[in-house]
Amino acid sequence: MANFDIEISEVGPRDGLQSIKAIMPTEAKKAWIKAEFEAGVPEIEVGSFVSPKLLPQLADTAEIVAYARTLPGLQIAALVPNLRGLEAAVKAGVHKVGIPFSQSETHSIKNVKKTHPEMLAEIQRCVEFLQTVPAEQRPRFEVGLSTAFGCTIEGNVDEDVVVSNAEKVLEIGADEVGLSDTTGFANPVQLKRITQRIWDSCGKDKLMGVHLHNTRGQGLANVLAAVEMGITTVDASLGGIGGCPWAPGASGNIVTEDLVWMLEAMGLKTGIDIDKLLAVRELVKEALPDEPMYGFIPDAGVPKGFVPASAV
C-alpha cells in the first residue's frame, strides 16, 4: 500500500532545469534526486528525451534514469515530445512517460511544429510502439493536456476541444491524461469544471494528476480545488524552479516545500519528511548559485507545534 494520500511528483529536474540557462552537472542532478528520494518523494520527473541541441540542460537524461533506477521504489517519470523520445525513454527504463499535447493549436505548432491532427497521429504511433514493448518494460503512458486553461498566444482555450482531445487520446490507447496549466491561467472553478467534464466523459481513473503553475499566485488554491475533488497526483518543483520556456511570460512552478506543508497540515499524507525536503534546497543552491529559489515555508519555517500527517 502506498504510504501517501497525495502523490507528489517532483518535476524540478525536468521542468525546472529545462527552463534555466545553467546546465546542472550530472552528479549534482543525481545528488538532488537521491536527496529527494531519501526525503520520501515518491515520484520524480528526472528529465526529458529531447534533442540535446534543443535542451542541452537535459542531454544526460538516460544516464540520470539509469542512476534513478538504483533507488528502490522510486517512480521515475520523463517527458517525451514524440515517438523518438518515447523509444529512448523505454530503452532507458523509465516507469512513466508523459507527452505534452498543447490544447492551444497555435502553441502546439509553435512549440513542437504539429497541428492537433498531427499530434494525435504521433500519439497513435506512440501507443502502437508501446504495444510491441514487453509488459514488464512498458511505461505508463500519460498525455499531458498542456495549455488546457488558456494560452499566452491564443488567450482562452475552448474547453470542448480539451474534453474532445482527452477522449481521443484515451480512445487511441493512452493510459491516462493529465491537466497542465502551462501558462498559469487556471482558477479553481475552471479547474473543477474541466476535471469534472473529463471525468464524466472518460472516467475518473483516466485523469488523476495535475501540473499547475503559480504564475498568478493561484497554484496552491488550484491544488486545493483539485485534491478536494479527488485528484491524487500533483506536480511541483523544489524552490519553484522552472516554468515553460515556450509560453512567453509564463513561469513559476508550484513550490514543492509549500505544497507538502499545505497537504500535511490538512491531514493528507505525502510520505515526505519536510525537514529533509527543505535541506535539499542547499544542494540545489550550491549547484545553481545564480538561480532564484522561491517558497514561503523555507523563509517562515513550519509553524510552532506543527505535526505533519505523515508523522502520525
> Among 121, 266, 279, 311, which residue sits at the site for its own copies (rule: CB under 8 A)?
266
Residue 31 or 265 having the CB closest to its own copies? 265
Binding mask 196-225 for its own copies (x = CB under 8 A): ------------------xxxxx-xx-xxx
Residue 61 or 152 having the CB closest to its own copies? 152
φ, ψ for residue 171, nearest 5 deg: -65, -40
> Residue 30 in contact with residue 255, Cβ under 8 Å?
no
Strand 43-48 relative to strand 140-146: parallel, antiparallel, unpaired?
unpaired
244 flagged as catalytic: yes
Does residue 311 touch its own copies according to CB under 8 A? no
Binning the chain into helix, strand and coil, the percentages to the nearest 5 are 45, 15, 35
The CA distance from 5 to 282, in Å, is 27
H helices, E strands: number in the chain:
12, 8
Binding mask 139-158 for its own copies (x = CB under 8 A): -----------xxxxxxx--
> Residue 267 in contact with residue 239, Cβ under 8 Å?
no
Q: Tell me, by CB under 8 A, how many residues bind its own copies.
A: 41
Residue 11 or 254 having the CB closest to its own copies? 254
Residue 48 or 152 having the CB closest to its own copies? 152
Place of cell 487556471: 186
The interface region with its own copies, picked from 111-119, 167-175, 194-202, 303-311 by CB under 8 A, is: 303-311
Residue 218: CB atoms within 10 A of its CB come to: 20
Does residue 301 touch its own copies according to CB under 8 A? yes
Given the residues 126, 151, 202, 244, select the one marked as catalytic: 244
The DSSP element (H or E) to which 98 belongs, if any, is: strand 96-102
> Residue 74 in contact with residue 42, Cβ under 8 Å?
yes
The interface region with its own copies, picked from 71-79, 93-101, 113-121, 291-299 by CB under 8 A, is: 291-299
The CA distance from 56 to 253, in Å, is 21
Q: Where along the sequence are the contacts to its own copies (CB under 8 A)?
A: 150-156, 183-185, 187-190, 214-218, 220-221, 223-225, 249, 252, 255, 258, 261-262, 265-267, 295-297, 300-301, 303-305
Enzyme catalytic residues? 244
